[in-house]
Amino acid sequence: MPVGIIVNVLSVIIGGIVGGLFGERLTEKFKVEINMIFGACSMAMGIYAIVPMKYEIHACCYFISGIGYRLWYDYSFG
């Protein structure tokens, strides 16, 4: 069974529904910065394709959590 394809399709459908329902409640700054995070992760995965990394998912998770913390800190403490 093609689990990856099913997960991809469901992610797009659920993300589209959630984005349609709650998208206008997000600030413009958040929308810009979340695109920056996704872009950085895409670059990290591209680098992974060129230079093999042993634990790519860990690197992406650490990167996302670090940026998420920074976003939270900026929004909470100005």
Cβ neighbors of 67 (< 8 A, separation 6 or more) are 33, 36, 37, 40
Number of structural domains in the chain: 1
Give the span between the Cα atoms of 65 and 67, in whole angstroms.
6
Please tell me the pTM assigned to this model: 0.47
Give the span between the Cα atoms of 55 and 36, in whole angstroms.
22
Residue 50's pLDDT is what?
64
- The residue with greater pLDDT, 50 or 16, is 16
Task: Give the domain extent around 69.
Answer: 3-77
Give the span between the Cα atoms of 64 and 70, in whole angstroms.
10
Which pLDDT tens digit goes with each residue over 33-47? Answer: 888 888 888 888 877
Give the span between the Cα atoms of 13 and 2, in whole angstroms.
17
